[in-house]
Amino acid sequence: MKKSPLPLQNACGGSKNQSLGKEALVKLLRWHFGHPEFRGKQLDAIEAVLSGRDCFCLMPTGGGKSMCYQIPALAKKTGIVLVVCPLIALMENQVMALKEKGIAAEYLSSTQATQTKNKIHEDLDSGKPSLRLLYVTPELIATPGFMTKLRKIHTRGLLNLVAIDEAHCISSWGHDFRPSYRKLSTLRSHLPGVPILALTATAVPKVQKDVIESLCLQHPLILKSSFNRPSIHYEVRYKDLLDDVYADLSDVLKSSGDVCAIVYCLERTMCDDLSAHLSKNGISCAAYHAGLNDKLRSSVLDNWISSKIQVVVATVAFGMGIDRKDVRIVCHFNIPKSMEAFYQESGRAGRDQLLSRSLLYYGIDDCKRMKFILSNADNKKSKASNSQEELSKKTLTDFQQMVEYCEGSGCRRRKILETFGEKVPASLCGKTCDACKHPNLVAKYLEELANTCIVRQKFGSSQIFMSSSSDTINEVRTSEFWNRDDEESCSEDDISDSDDGLAVKNLARSKLPKKLGISEKIECLQRLEERYYPDKSSDKQINKPEKNAISDTLRETSKQRLQNALKQAQQRLGNLKIEVEKSASFLENECYNKYGKTGKSFYYSQVASTVRWLSSADYTGLTNRLGTINSSLSDDAPPETEPPAARSPLVEGPTEITSSDFHDSIRSETSVAVSPTEIASPSTRLPPIPSFSQFINTRKTKDNRSSASEKKSPNGVQKNLEKRMRLQ
Ligand X SMILES: Nc1ncnc2c1ncn2[C@@H]1O[C@H](COP(=O)(O)OP(=O)(O)OP(=O)(O)O)[C@@H](O)[C@H]1O
- Alpha-carbon separation of residue 271 from 173, 262, 264, 721 (angstroms): 29, 11, 8, 19
- Alpha-carbon separation of residue 380 from 105, 176, 177, 183, 385 (angstroms): 34, 12, 10, 16, 11
Complex with ligand X: residue 129 or 321, whichever CB lies closer: 321
Complex with Mg ion: residue 65 or 600, whichever CB lies closer: 65
Angle at which helix 388-407 crosses helix 339-346, to 10 degrees, equals: 60
- Alpha-carbon separation of residue 668 from 559, 587, 611, 671, 685 (angstroms): 15, 18, 11, 7, 25
CA dihedral for 499, 504, 506, 509, sign (positive or negative): negative
Q: Which does 61 bind (CB under 5 to 8 A by kind): Mg ion, ligand X, none?
A: ligand X
CB of 492 to Mg ion, least distance (A): 24
The residues that touch Mg ion, with contacts defined as CB under 5 A, are 65
Which residue from 201, 311, 525, 576 is in contact with ligand X, where contact means CB under 6 A?
A: 201
Q: Are 605 and 664 in contact (CB under 8 A)?
A: yes
Complex with ligand X: residue 30 or 295, whichever CB lies closer: 30
356 binds ligand X (CB under 6 A): no
> Interface residues for ligand X in 298-327 (CB under 6 A)?
323
Q: Which does 172 bind (CB under 5 to 8 A by kind): Mg ion, ligand X, none?
A: none
Q: Which does 395 bind (CB under 5 to 8 A by kind): Mg ion, ligand X, none?
A: none
Complex with ligand X: residue 354 or 708, whichever CB lies closer: 354
Q: Which residue is nearest to ligand X (CB)?
A: 64
Q: Are 175 and 203 in contact (CB under 8 A)?
A: no
Classify 471 as helix, strand or coil: coil
Q: How many residues bind ligand X (CB under 6 A)?
A: 15
93 binds ligand X (CB under 6 A): no
CB of 232 to ligand X, least distance (A): 14
With residue 73 as reference, give the H or E element that holds it.
Answer: helix 67-75
Residue 296: CB partners within 8 Å, gap ≥ 6? none
Q: Which does 375 bind (CB under 5 to 8 A by kind): Mg ion, ligand X, none?
A: none
> Interface residues for ligand X in 34-53 (CB under 6 A)?
35, 38-39, 42
CB of 318 to ligand X, least distance (A): 13
Rg of the chain on CA atoms, in Å:
28
Which residue from 11, 45, 59, 528 is in contact with ligand X, where contact means CB under 6 A?
A: 59
DSSP string across 577-639: ---HHHHHHHHHHHHHHHHGGG-HHHHHHHHHHHHHHHHH--HHHHHHHHGGG-HHHHHSPPP
Complex with ligand X: residue 95 or 245, whichever CB lies closer: 95
Complex with Mg ion: residue 65 or 559, whichever CB lies closer: 65
Which residue from 19, 61, 202, 658 is in contact with ligand X, where contact means CB under 6 A?
A: 61
CB of 423 to ligand X, least distance (A): 23
With residue 188 as reference, give the H or E element that holds it.
Answer: helix 187-190
Complex with ligand X: residue 34 or 534, whichever CB lies closer: 34
86 binds ligand X (CB under 6 A): no
CB of 500 to ligand X, least distance (A): 12
Binding mask 66-85 for ligand X (x = CB under 6 A): xx------------------
Interface stretch with ligand X, choices 58-66, 80-88, 127-135, 642-650 (CB under 6 A): 58-66
Complex with Mg ion: residue 65 or 337, whichever CB lies closer: 65
501 binds ligand X (CB under 6 A): no
Q: Name the phi and psi angles at 192, rounded to 5.
A: -60, 140
Round to whole Å and give the CA distance between 76 and 160. Answer: 8
Round to whole Å and give the CA distance between 245 and 344. Answer: 24
Round to whole Å and give the CA distance between 175 and 183. Answer: 18
DSSP string across 300-365: HHHHHHTTSS-EEEE-TTS-TT---TTEEEEEESS--S-HHHHHHHHTTS-TTSS-EEEEEEE-HH
Binding mask 18-37 for ligand X (x = CB under 6 A): -----------------x--
Which residue from 28, 32, 55, 64 is in contact with ligand X, where contact means CB under 6 A?
A: 64
Q: Where along the sequence are the contacts to ligand X (CB under 6 A)? A: 35, 38-39, 42, 59, 61-67, 201, 323, 351
